[in-house]
Each structure stands twice: as structure tokens, then as C-alpha cells.
């Protein structure tokens, strides 16, 4: 119980610090709104030729795009926690190890809380604004009540999978002491394979089926498609199962690697 209180305190402190950056959130929201509208109009040009040729309806795609912009901070793999990386590279990890709590869950809570605070500042206003945009350019309601509940569940699971994936950056940095290359490699893979650039259903069918089994598809791809009804029934339950599997697998991998890295850690002057 005491450990839970400690982790809860870390979550609360980092969350309160994150919600202070309102001006940055406003600027980011404006950028994401413009980028979302640009993406929608770009896809519309293709849909006008032959709408039946695409794996998603245009309205489902529009909702996917707006959700992607609203929850950008929750799933973007560019968002790393600077304090953690600085602690690793400048020796501050010695103080982290002296704390009476596990370093992996502490970093996980800190990273996850930063994502939540940044998302809440941007997502709610953006969702409200886009919901009032006339069809077919606005965010539509969920396909049904079950889809909305499924969206909330898969959104949380997807955010946790993303955080577990990002934890590997910090763990690998303990080995390499150079976070830049690791961040670029992790971001390149996730941006392409998670559906952030192109929704996974738009990939060739054989490749899409493979991607749907990877941790990348367990991030933002699942909640966005569940919301619009593009992913429902048995396929949705399978996606939830894969989200849970990858969350456990990535957390276990990160914790094991971190223990090995800390055994080799040398604090300069210590």
C-alpha cells in the first residue's frame, strides 16, 4: 500500500507540473487542428475518384484523423521525458537509485503522467471544436454505445502500451548514454507501423495482417478504429487481447533489461 501511495504521488506531481504549460498546449492544438484538416482534405481528393476502393468509409477516416490529432500527445513517440534522459546521461541516476521505490515503475509513472497532462490540455478543446464541424469533415459520434466503451478501454490500453514501448528508449540509453539515435530509430518505426502516418487498413492486406499482430498496432490504431466502428466484434476483442499481451511483454522486457543495465552502471566519481 505504501508503494502505491508513492507511485500515486509521482503521478500526481508530474501531472500537476504538466498542466501548467497552457500556452504551449494552445499553440499545439492550433497546429494539430490545421494538420488534421489538411490530412482530411488530402484523403478526400483520393476518395472522390472511387470511394468503394478504400477499406474505410470516408466518415470513419475523418473521425480517425481527428482522434489522431486530439490524442497526439498521448501516442506520439517523440514525447520523451527530459528529466529521465538527463538523469541517465549526467549521473543523476545515482539519486534515482537512492529513492526507496523501484526505478522502472517510477520512470513509467513519470512518463505516463506527463502524457496524460499534455493530452488533457489539448484533446478536450479539439474534440469539442471538431464535433461541431459540419459533416463529412467533423468528428462523428461513436458507432454505438458499445463502441464508445470499447474506445475508452482500448485508449487506456493503447496509451499504456505506448508508454511501455517508450520506456525501452530510457533503458537502452542506460546502455548507450546517447539517446538521440535511439529516439530517432524508435520514432521512425512507430510512426510508420502504428498507423500514425497512414492508417493500417490502407496498407496492402498481407502486410496489414502482419502489422496488426505487432505492438505498433496495439497503440493508437485500435482505439481510433473501435470508435468509428471499423473494428468491432471478434476482431475488436482480438485487438484488446493483443494490447494486453504487448503491455505485459514490453513491461517485462523493459524491467529485465533495466536490471541488467543497472548492474553495469558506473557513477563517475563514485
Domain map (residue ranges) of the chain:
2-263
pLDDT by position in tens, the chain (length 270): 566 666 566 656 655 555 555 555 566 677 888 889 999 999 999 898 888 888 898 999 999 999 999 998 899 888 888 888 888 888 778 777 777 778 898 889 888 888 888 888 788 889 999 999 988 899 999 988 999 999 999 999 999 999 999 999 999 998 888 888 888 888 888 988 998 888 999 999 999 999 999 999 999 999 999 998 889 999 999 999 999 999 999 999 999 999 998 887 655 544
Rounded (5°) CA angle 198-204-208: 70
Distances (CA, A) of 61 to 164, 174, 202, 262: 27, 40, 10, 45
* Cβ-based neighbour number of residue 31 at 10 Å: 13
Give the separation between CA 142 and CA 75, rounded to whole angstroms. Answer: 20
pTM: predicted TM-score of the whole model, two decimal places: 0.87
8 Å CB contact between 87 and 93: yes
Amino acid at each position: 500500500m505504501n508503494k502505491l501511495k508513492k507511485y500515486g504521488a509521482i503521478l500526481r506531481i508530474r501531472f500537476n507540473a504538466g498542466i501548467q504549460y497552457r500556452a504551449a498546449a494552445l499553440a499545439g492544438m492550433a497546429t494539430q487542428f490545421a494538420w488534421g484538416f489538411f490530412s482530411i482534405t488530402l484523403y478526400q481528393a483520393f476518395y472522390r475518384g472511387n470511394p468503394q476502393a478504400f477499406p474505410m468509409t470516408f466518415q470513419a477516416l475523418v473521425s480517425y484523423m481527428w482522434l489522431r490529432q486530439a490524442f497526439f500527445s498521448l501516442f506520439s513517440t517523440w514525447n520523451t521525458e527530459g528529466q529521465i534522459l538527463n538523469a541517465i546521461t549526467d549521473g543523476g541516476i545515482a539519486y534515482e537509485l537512492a529513492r526507496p521505490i523501484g526505478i522502472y515503475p517510477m520512470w513509467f509513472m513519470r512518463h505516463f503522467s506527463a502524457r496524460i497532462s499534455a493530452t488533457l490540455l489539448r484533446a478536450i478543446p479539439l474534440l469539442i471544436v471538431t464535433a461541431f464541424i459540419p459533416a463529412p469533415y467533423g468528428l462523428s459520434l461513436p458507432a454505438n454505445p458499445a463502441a464508445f466503451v470499447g474506445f475508452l478501454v482500448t485508449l487506456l490500453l493503447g496509451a499504456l502500451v505506448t508508454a511501455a514501448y517508450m520506456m525501452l528508449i530510457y533503458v537502452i540509453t542506460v546502455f548507450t548514454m546517447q539517446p538521440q539515435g535511439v529516439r530517432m530509430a524508435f520514432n521512425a518505426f512507430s510512426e510508420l507501423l502504428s498507423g500514425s502516418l497512414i492508417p493500417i487498413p490502407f496498407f496492402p492486406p498481407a502486410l496489414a495482417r502482419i502489422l496488426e499482430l505487432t505492438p505498433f498496432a496495439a497503440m493508437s490504431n485500435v482505439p481510433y478504429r473501435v470508435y468509428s466502428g471499423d473494428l468491432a466484434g471478434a476482431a475488436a476483442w482480438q485487438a484488446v487481447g493483443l494490447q494486453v499481451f504487448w503491455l505485459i511483454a514490453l513491461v517485462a522486457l523493459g524491467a529485465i533489461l533495466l536490471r541488467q543495465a543497472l548492474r553495469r552502471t558506473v557513477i563517475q566519481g563514485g
